[in-house]
Amino acid sequence: MTELLKKVSKKSIDHEFYTPYPENYKKGKTKYIIVFGTVMSGLGKGIMSSSLGKLLRFKGFKLAPIKFDGYLNQDAGTLNPFRHGEVFVLDDGTESDMDLGTYERFLDIDISKSNYLTNGKLFNMILNKERKGEYLGRDVQVIPHVTGEIKLFLRTLAMKSESDIVLFEVGGTVGDLENMFCIEAVRQLMYEEGKENVCFIALTYVLEPEFLGEQKSKAAQLGIKNLLSMGIQPDIIACRAHNPVTNKVREKISVYSNVKIENVISLHDVKSIYLIPEMLRQGKIAENVMELLNLKQITSKDSEDKQFMQWTELTETIRKPKHKVVIGMTGKYTSLRDSYASIIKALEHAGAHLNSQVEIKWIETTEIENGKLNVESALRDVDGVIVAPGFGKRGTEGKIMCLKYIREHDIPYLGVCYGMQMAVIEFARNVCGLNGANSTEIEPDTKYPVIDILPEQKKIEGLGGNMRLGGKDVEVKKGTLAYGLYEKKTKIRERFRHRYEVNPKYINKLEEKGMVFSGKHPDYEIMQIMELPGKKYYIGAQFHPEFTSKPLKPNPLYYGLVKAALSAKKSQ
């Protein structure tokens, strides 16, 4: 052991390189596409990356997407939706950035913690290694150790996923302190893997001030210059803009950045993000990337065209829907739409399959709670309602007031996680006569804790007071609405993110008054789907059905809501 430590120490001292490779790793077997953002954040790097990935999937390539976020949190679990948008939950329980949801939806895959890296997660790995003596003989530095661990993370994903291409999105904007060493790491990756194995794509922004009436490229040029100064020569530049980017502007950016004009593409605003793959296909971006990486198409052209045709059938209904429904979204984060990103997409998926445009009416339940907004006026013109997920007391009484109106006026309803719990509370109060019924999350000393954290549940899930996270099996009761929606399956898998449950002590009382628990834990009395028979559509889920919804396969609960809303509208 001593000789081994001496050997490791001597090697570490004698060389400046720190480039650990996974066992049996072969350079060139996996290609890397790296996507950066310039000028400003929020341009849609994840959407652009996912759309490119979709086109490459049509050509037969296996892809592994990965997102890097510069914050020091180890994951997105503790981030406030107002600051960072929705927390997307992976099947393995990882609480991640919402862009990972975009990757899953576009690429029709399930990904894991191996596809997500933050500075917090990265530094934690490095410090653990340092304490174990794995950097013997060296002071641990950003270069080569932090950059080395980033490269190792990427190569490990390449090996583990057995992918043809790793699609790496560097979060934030070029110039941010938080991602500078990540950019340095991928510069080194190109140096080590060879230029033919790494493609750099920069997303930039073309301004179009209303008072000028023309597009300006200077901000885009300066953003690219910043990237060039860090040793990164982009191969492709995608120009985000409100309107199609003119040839004049594309030429300016091409000359300034040393990128061929055909690789400077317009990525302008469209009605739906699901139209972006068509835009990129017209610009032949996938073919350009394949040429840069010396890749040859795997599937036949007929197979590619068939898959693309299936995709365009979906997008055609998004472009020209025959029907329109209004879905009320009741929640407390309505001022930031990204807080409900997956719900919005799940509604879009369902609407497209029902040839309908789904218009969302945002209803801030805090305003209902404090009397600034009347329930009847808020819900009068909706065809269906989602009572959204959330945590904490604020806005809950507003949700309960909405649920009473929804139940009594038979408006199609879907409750998601907290939204289901609020429906149980409303039913307990107003139908079962349990006045003051509540959740112990909201009122710890409530007389009727119909929603609670139970000691036996903590033991079952091994949570120790933490959240129940990730994909779990749900047993579905035959003959129920849920059973029909899930194509008569008695076992389904959905994703959870919650702490509190329906209290088993009150299940009989709730069922006596007509509530049906149509989904439960396979082995224990933990209720996971609730419904009210005899209504047009009244169902709540303890899980988040939006996390498993895909464009070509909408989640059954959202599909059912939009379908019921359409029927309700037609019957009026």
Give whole-number Cα distances, 268 to 97, 102, 156, 271, in Å: 24, 18, 35, 10
Q: What is the dihedral of CA 281, 285, 291, 293, to 10 degrees?
A: -120
Q: What is the pLDDT of residues 389-436, one digit of tens each?
A: 877 778 789 999 999 999 999 999 999 999 999 999 999 999 999 999
Query: β-pairing, 384-387 with 413-416?
Result: parallel
Query: β-pairing, 491-498 with 468-476?
Result: antiparallel
Instruction: With a cut of 90, say whether residue 54 has pLDDT above it.
Output: yes
Residue 120 in tokens? 């917090």
Residues 6+ apart with CB under 8 A from 368: 374, 375, 378, 398, 401, 402
pLDDT of residue 499: 86
Cα–Cα distance for residue pair 397/407, rounded to 1 Å: 15
Instruction: With a cut of 60, say whether residue 5 has pLDDT above it.
Output: no
For residues 129 and 336, the model is more confident at 129
Cα–Cα distance for residue pair 71/511, rounded to 1 Å: 46
Active site residues: 417, 544, 546
DSSP three-state, residue 360:
strand
| Segment 63-86 mean pLDDT | 85
Out of 5-9, 227-231, 568-572, give the one with best mean pLDDT.
227-231
Q: What is the pLDDT of residues 168-196, one digit of tens each?
A: 999 999 989 999 999 999 999 999 999 99
pLDDT of residue 466: 62
Using the 8-state DSSP alphabet, how is residue 537 labeled? Answer: S
Asked if residue 562 lies in contact with residue 354, where contact means CB atoms within 8 angstroms, the answer is yes
pLDDT of residue 569: 82
| Segment 50-67 mean pLDDT | 97
Residues 6+ apart with CB under 8 A from 167: 33, 35, 49, 52, 53, 63, 64, 65, 66, 103
Query: β-pairing, 264-268 with 116-118?
Result: unpaired
Cα 517 to chain center, whole Å?
A: 29
When mean pLDDT is compared across 80-89, 460-469, 496-505, 507-516, the lowest value belongs to: 460-469
Give whole-number Cα distances, 316 to 497, 551, 559, in Å: 34, 13, 18
Neighbour count for residue 282 (Cβ, 10 Å): 10
Residue 194 in tokens? 């060879």
Around 37, how many Cα atoms within 13 Å sit in the side-chain half-sphere? 22
Q: What is the pLDDT of residues 332-358, one digit of tens each?
A: 765 566 788 999 999 999 999 999 999
Residues 6+ apart with CB under 8 A from 298: 59, 60, 61, 164
**Band (10; pLDDT cuts 50, 70, 90):** very low
Q: What is the pLDDT of residues 441-495, one digit of tens each?
A: 899 999 999 999 866 555 555 444 467 889 999 999 999 999 999 999 999 999 9
Task: Give strand ranges (E) for 365-485.
Answer: 384-387, 413-416, 438-439, 449-452, 468-476
**Band (15; pLDDT cuts 50, 70, 90):** low
| Segment 44-68 mean pLDDT | 96
The mean pLDDT value of the chain amounts to 91
Query: % helix / strand / coil in the chain, to the nearest 5?
Result: 45, 20, 35
Q: What is the pLDDT of residues 516-570, one digit of tens each?
A: 999 999 998 899 999 999 999 999 999 999 999 999 999 999 999 999 999 988 7
Q: Which domains does the chain have, with CATH numbers?
A: 18-313 (3.40.50.300), 321-571 (3.40.50.880)
Residue 481 in tokens? 């609405």
Cα 410 to chain center, whole Å?
A: 32
Query: pTM of the entire structure?
Result: 0.91
Residues 6+ apart with CB under 8 A from 94: 75, 112, 113, 116, 470
Residue 471 in tokens? 């994909």
Q: Phi/psi at 548 (nearest 5 deg)?
A: -110, 5
Residues 6+ apart with CB under 8 A from 502: 421, 424, 450, 451, 510, 517, 526, 527, 530, 542
Q: What is the pLDDT of residues 288-327, one digit of tens each?
A: 999 999 999 999 999 999 999 999 999 999 999 999 999 9
